[in-house]
Amino acid sequence: MIDRSIGWMKAEAGQAAPLYIAAVAGLLFVGLVLFAFGEADVQRNGAQSAADAAALAAAKESRSLVESQLRAHLTDPDYFRTVFSASFLGEPDNSCWKASVFAARNKAGAVRCRQLADGRWGYEVRLESDKGLSTDIVPGTEGKKAEATAVAVVEPRCTFVVAASPSPSPDPSAEPDASPDPADASIGEMSCDGGQDWTVDPEGAALMPDAAALFSVRLAED
């Protein structure tokens, strides 16, 4: 007698094989899609980190240039008043070269850097990842590069208080006190965050706090 159960089993196996193949193919497709989105997320994060570092580098370079100018103007109260006012936008410079250097270190390209023109002292950097996506599972994504934008601003940590002018003697007949040479006199004082005070002394340039103590650099919203 012919065992019909064997035939049924073979028939069922033959019918199930295409289903298994379709299921495996579907899982592979889902895996590739997840890989594509994961790769895109890695690209975006890398590009954003590169943009942040580049914008901060440009802002810090601009800050360092102002430090050297402050040392050159230790007898000029007007310059100090200008630098530590809310309207100061930094010295005319080309600090964007620093952004390009840091972008290259972080494997990014197509760097566009500009000084802010909205009343803030700082820089905006836009760039792309140097490599595009490796798969085209999601239509139109193969070779697409991640883009990112970052803004870094420089803000004063200190306020400048100009020195008071010496009061005239109330007795015209009194011998005038020997006054110090104006070039040697302090033009004022700096009051900085954390209670750090500094008397602006033309003879004490070496005692001047560094730029990081005078100005903060931070990432900001666009």
pLDDT 10s digit of each residue in the chain, 222 long?
455 555 555 555 555 566 656 655 555 545 554 444 454 566 788 889 999 999 999 999 999 999 989 999 999 999 999 999 989 999 888 899 999 999 999 888 889 999 999 999 999 999 998 775 555 555 555 557 888 999 999 999 999 999 876 555 555 555 555 555 555 688 999 898 877 788 898 887 777 888 999 999 999 987
Q: How far apart are alpha carbons 58 and 151 in whole angstroms?
A: 10
Q: How far apart are alpha carbons 18 and 195 in whole angstroms?
A: 77
In sequence order, what are the residues at sequence separation of 6 or more whose Cβ sits closer than 8 angstroms to the Cβ of residue 64? Answer: 211
Q: How far is CA 206 from CA 6, 40, 116, 162, 201, in A?
A: 97, 50, 32, 20, 10
* Domain edges within the chain: 10-164+184-220
Let me know: does 157 contact 135? Beta carbons within 8 Å.
no
Let me know: does 55 contact 152? Beta carbons within 8 Å.
yes
Identify which of 200, 180, 207, 160 has the alpha carbon closest to the alpha carbon of residue 75.
Answer: 200
The upper half-sphere exposure of residue 89, i.e. CA atoms within 13 Å in the direction of its Cβ, equals 10
Q: How far apart are alpha carbons 116 and 151 in whole angstroms?
A: 9
Over the Cα atoms of the chain, what is R_g?
Answer: 33
Let me know: does 117 contact 22? Beta carbons within 8 Å.
no
Identify which of 126, 119, 147, 152 has the alpha carbon closest to the alpha carbon of residue 221.
Answer: 152
Q: Which strands make up the sheet holding 196-200, listed edge to edge?
A: 158-162, 188-192, 196-200
Structure tokens at 31: 């895996």
pTM, whole model, 2 decimals?
Answer: 0.72
Helix ranges, 92-219 (H)? 96-105, 211-214
The predicted pLDDT at position 181 comes to 52
The predicted pLDDT at position 24 comes to 58
The predicted pLDDT at position 91 comes to 86
Helix ranges, 73-161 (H)? 77-83, 96-105
Q: How far apart are alpha carbons 35 and 135 in whole angstroms?
A: 9
Let me know: does 200 contact 184? Beta carbons within 8 Å.
no
The predicted pLDDT at position 66 comes to 93
Q: How far apart are alpha carbons 126 and 113 in whole angstroms?
A: 6
